[in-house]
Amino acid sequence: MPEQNKPFVVTDRRKFTLDGTPRPDADPPAEREARPDQSAAAPSPEPPLEFRSTQTAQATPEQPAPAGAEPPSEGELPPPPTSAEMEQANAAYQQTSERLDDAVRAANPGMDHPPVMTFEQILTSIYMTTIHQLGGTTQEGQQPKVDLMGARQSIDMLGVLAEKTKGNLNPAEAQLLDNALFEVRMGFLEVTQALARSAANRQPPPSGAGQPGRPSIVR
C-alpha cells in the first residue's frame, strides 16, 4: 500500500476518563515509575537564606544561642594559639633556621654566623630605609629619587614603635629611637620644602607680565 494511503492511527494516552476514573488501557504503574520524576529533580524555588527578603528572614525562627556564649562581633579576631602551640611553632622555627644557617655556611666557607636580631637593628633598618626613601643615599652626580609617601610610612612606623614601647626601653634604646625619629622627621621637612621651592621656581610668569628691563604692554 502506498505511504500516502496508510491510515492514521491516533493513540489516546490520557490516563483518566472524563469522570476522573483511571483508564484501563493507561500505562501500567511499573512503566510510570520507570519514567524520570521531573518534579523531584527540579531545583527548589526557595532562595538561600542570605537572599531572602526581610519579611522572610524575620519569619524564620532563630536558633537559641548556648547559655553563657557571647554573640560574635564584627571584625572579631580568631582565638589566639595556646602556649603549647606557640612553643611548638617556635621550636620548629628555630630548628629550620639552624638548618638554613648550616646550609649557607657550607656553601660559603668562613662565613660568620648571622647576628641575633635586636631592637637596635630593627630601628637601624627602618632608619636607613627612610633615609634612602628621602634620597639621602644618592650617589654624587646622580639625580636623587625621592619617595615621599614611602618615607612618611616609615617615619610613622618609628612613631608607632615609640608609642608602643614607651616605658619599656632602656636609656640607650630610648635615646637611639628619639634621635632616629628627630633626624628622619627633620629630613622629611627639608625635602618637602626643597621640592616646594623647586616647583615654585619652575612656574611660568603670570600672563601679561613684562620681562625684566622691558616695559609691559597694556591694552
What confidence tens digit (pLDDT) does each residue in 65-104 have? 555 556 656 668 889 999 999 999 999 999 999 899 888 8
The confidence band for 110, taking pLDDT boundaries of 50, 70 and 90, is confident
Q: How far apart, in Å, do the first and last CA atoms of the chain sit? A: 111
Question: CB-hemisphere CA count at 13 Å for 71?
Answer: 4
Phi, psi of 117 (to 5 degrees): -70, 130
- CB-CB contact of 15 with 23 (8 Å): yes
Q: Residue 54 has which C-alpha cell?
A: 526581610
- Rounded Cα distance between 207 and 213, Å, is 17
What is the pTM for the complete model shown? 0.55
Tell me the per-residue pLDDT of 185-194, one tens digit each, with 9 for 90 and over.
999 999 999 9
Is 90 exceeded by the pLDDT of residue 106?
Answer: no
Q: Which of helix, strand or coil describes residue 160?
A: helix
